[in-house]
Amino acid sequence: MSLRKNIYTLLLVLFAITAQARQIDYHLLNKRVIQYKKAEWDINLSTAFTTPYDQQDISLDLEMISPSGKPVILPCYFEEGESEKSIWKARFAAQENGEYSYHFVLKSKAGEVKSAEEHFNVEASAKPGFLHKNTTWTFRFDNGKLFRGIGENVAWESRKFEDDKWTYDHLLPTLAKNGANFFRTWMCYWNLPLEWKKVSSTKRYSNTDQYFNPGAIKRMDELVNMTDSLGLYFMLTLDWHGHLMENGGWKNSPYNVINGGPAKTSTEFFSSQKAKEKYKNKLRYIIARWGYSTNIAAFEFFNEVDNAAFNKEDSILIPHQYITQWHDDMSRYLKDIDPYHHLVTTSISHRDIQGLNSVAYFDFNQKHIYKHTEKIPAIYPPYIKGYGKPYVVGEFGYRWEDADPKYAKEADFDFKRGLWYGLFSETPLLPMSWWWELFDDEKMAYYFKGVRSISDAMLKAGNGGFKQIAVSAGKIEAYSMHCGNQYFIYLLNNTDRTTDAPVNLPVMLNKFSVQSFSPETGEYKTEAAGRLPGKDVTLSQVNLHPKEARVLIISDERR
């Protein structure tokens, strides 16, 4: 009798396990799984839920053990279907090659269910992988390759009142073929409006009653695929400050209670636990659906959060401690759920938020600057020294008001010098210009080629080692960088007259060679070599036309 009872109990347990397993039916779509490329699973769930995007209601994770024994947990996302019969997906980019073991874990109000364990093998790839923090000068790929970002803002595709040509499909290939490797873009109510049920200023997206906007999901899928094919990396700005401004966008914010959201005020957006839970649902979905992309270099929580925190008279509208605590909570959560450890940041316009630069989970800090491009070189040192993190100028421009073509000549000059100021400064991302539409009309993309050429030469010469050296050239602006056995000097005649001056570099080289580079033509020219035993390097008169720039490369031939 005891034996029969034991057998009966065992059969009940096996039946229960089998019934649970049937709740999770999955299939790996890839015949071959390649390192750093998307592997995708279709998962059929037979589980009840109310809101599949709310992780308090239901969540599905892919739990893995990597070939090196590292545990990896990846959020999965709802694709389609109804309660008790739905399709979910897992998208994963392996950072290791070799055999992974895995299973799925489903959590719902009915409890927790775990699928049977399976395995898949990952083939090695020549792709460099994901970008991570390295030094205050460079980012680093998984494979160790170093990176400095060169590009501009392409914050959104053309709005309904703008020229239809300014799309990702036009602007991004133009950047890529001209040597740029980076750009920055926004999620907002007119561009990639993931959380926006009601859109505006756009012909590309439509209003919806769904939790996430289907048009935004489709376009984000396309953007990720496009950047992969172009070899472009980007900073995805997850929120625009305007929807938190009480006298502006708050009335239309998806977080406002009048629109079905959890917050009565923009302060409650940062302080309310329910608002935080809603935001975490978005972060989880973004990582689950697009986190696999190696081309998403960084997640930026807010564009210019200070513009919501202050009014025009610089009085505080939202207490800073709420904003800083929110960023600490969200960045910690994002780091916890992101198995790839993407770079994380936020941005201000020009007013610092108390404590924000010290958030532990930010990989770099950033601000924006307009009408004062000449101040860019001086921005970095105090922030780097004060907070021990890389610093980035995420936007700069000749004007912030508009892109009036009558200022095109001045804006073009500003565009050029801002890139060089960044290249000769301690930052992993060169300053990114605003007004991409104007610069597209001005056909300025060609200029990235020269900057990229010198940047690549710096990285090669110094293998990521940079040292700024004071250099003088009379009335000509001059900046110098020591990388390995080479010295790079940027010269700019920021006057309205042709100017010549000797260039003095305070280093002693017994034997050296000199090249000059023209950013306008992309041409390198061999200059006279020299021997100056026991003396500083001094080059005879360098002649530059008004607003002309030149780069000198001095190579120490002793090595």
Convert the pLDDT of each residue in 457-487 to its tens digit. 999 999 999 999 999 999 999 999 999 999 9
Are both 421 and 402 inside the same structural domain? yes
Domain presence at residue 133: no
Same domain membership, residue 332 and residue 186: yes
Using N-to-C axis directions, what is the helix angle for 214-230 and 273-290, rounded to 10°?
40
pLDDT (0 to 100) of residue 323? 97
**Among residues of the chain, what percentage have pLDDT more than 90?**
88
User: Are residues 429 and 376 part of one domain?
Assistant: yes
How far apart, in Å, are the Cα atoms of 535 and each of 251, 366, 414, 506? 68, 40, 36, 8
- Report pLDDT digits (tens) over 371-403: 999 999 999 999 999 999 999 999 999 999 988
**Contact yes or no for 93/38 (Cβ under 8 A):** yes
pLDDT above 90 (res 21): no
69, 88, 123 - which closes a domain: 123
| pLDDT given at position 403 | 87
H/E segment holding residue 337: helix 320-337
Q: For all residues of the chain together, what is the average pLDDT?
A: 93
The mean-pLDDT minimum among 9-23, 62-76, 295-309 falls in 9-23
Q: pLDDT per residue over 331-370, tens digit each?
A: 999 999 999 999 999 999 999 999 999 999 999 999 999 9
Residue 151: CB atoms within 10 Å: 29
- The number of folded domains in the chain is 3
Length of the chain measured in residues = 559
- Per-residue pLDDT at 273 exceeds 80: yes
pLDDT for 533 equals: 61
What is the pTM (predicted TM-score) of this model? 0.94
**Domain around 57:** 20-123
277 and 331 belong to one structural domain: yes
Residue 544 has a pLDDT of: 94
Please list, in sequence order, all residues whose beta carbon lies within 8 angstroms of the beta carbon of residue 247, skipping any fewer than 6 positions away. none
Residues 270 and 391 in one domain: yes
Q: Does 391 lie in the same domain as 352? A: yes
Do residue 371 and residue 403 come from a single domain?
Answer: yes
Contact 104, 54 (CB under 8 A): no
Instruction: Indicate the Cα dihedral angle 236, 238, 242, 246, nearest 10°.
Output: -160
Q: Is 144 within a domain?
A: no
Which among 447, 462, 477 is the end of a domain?
462
Q: How confident is the model at residue 13 (pLDDT cuts 50, 70, 90)?
A: very low
Coil, helix or strand at residue 137: coil
Share of the chain above pLDDT 70, in %: 95
Confidence of residue 9 (pLDDT cuts 50, 70, 90): very low
Reduced to 3 states (helix: H, G, I; strand: E, B; else coil), residue 132 is strand
Which candidate, 138, 127, 124, 116, places its Cα nearest to that of 182? Answer: 138
- Sign of the alpha-carbon torsion through 308, 313, 318, 320: positive
Is residue 7 predicted with pLDDT exceeding 50? no
> Could you report the per-residue pLDDT of 530-556, keeping only the tens digit for each?
656 667 888 888 899 999 999 999 999
Q: Are residues 372 and 479 in the same domain?
A: no
The verdict on 36 and 166 lying in the same domain is no
Same structural domain for residues 449 and 487? no
259 vs 540, higher pLDDT = 259
Give CA separation, 492 vs 278, 387, 496, 551, in Å.
50, 31, 12, 9
Stretch 210-235: mean pLDDT, rounded? 98
pLDDT at position 534 is 61
- For 415, half-sphere exposure in the C-beta direction (CA atoms, 13 angstrom radius) is 27
**Tell me, what CATH number does 313's domain have?**
3.20.20.80
Same domain for 163 and 216? yes
Output the DSSP codes for 57-122.
TEEEEEEEE-TTS-EEEEE-EEEEEETTEEEEEEEEE-SS-EEEEEEEEEEETTEEEEPPPEEEEE
- Which pLDDT does position 15 carry in this prediction? 37
User: Any idea which of 7-21, 155-169, 496-510, 529-543 has the lowest mean pLDDT?
Assistant: 7-21
Are the beta carbons of 169 and 179 closer than 8 angstroms? Answer: no
Looking at residue 541, which CATH number applies to its domain? 2.60.40.1180
Q: What is the model's pLDDT at position 313?
A: 81
pLDDT (tens digit per residue) in 106-164: 999 999 999 999 999 999 999 999 999 999 999 999 999 999 999 999 999 999 999 99
Which H helix or E strand runs over 323?
Answer: helix 320-337
Shared domain for 416 and 492, answered yes or no, is no
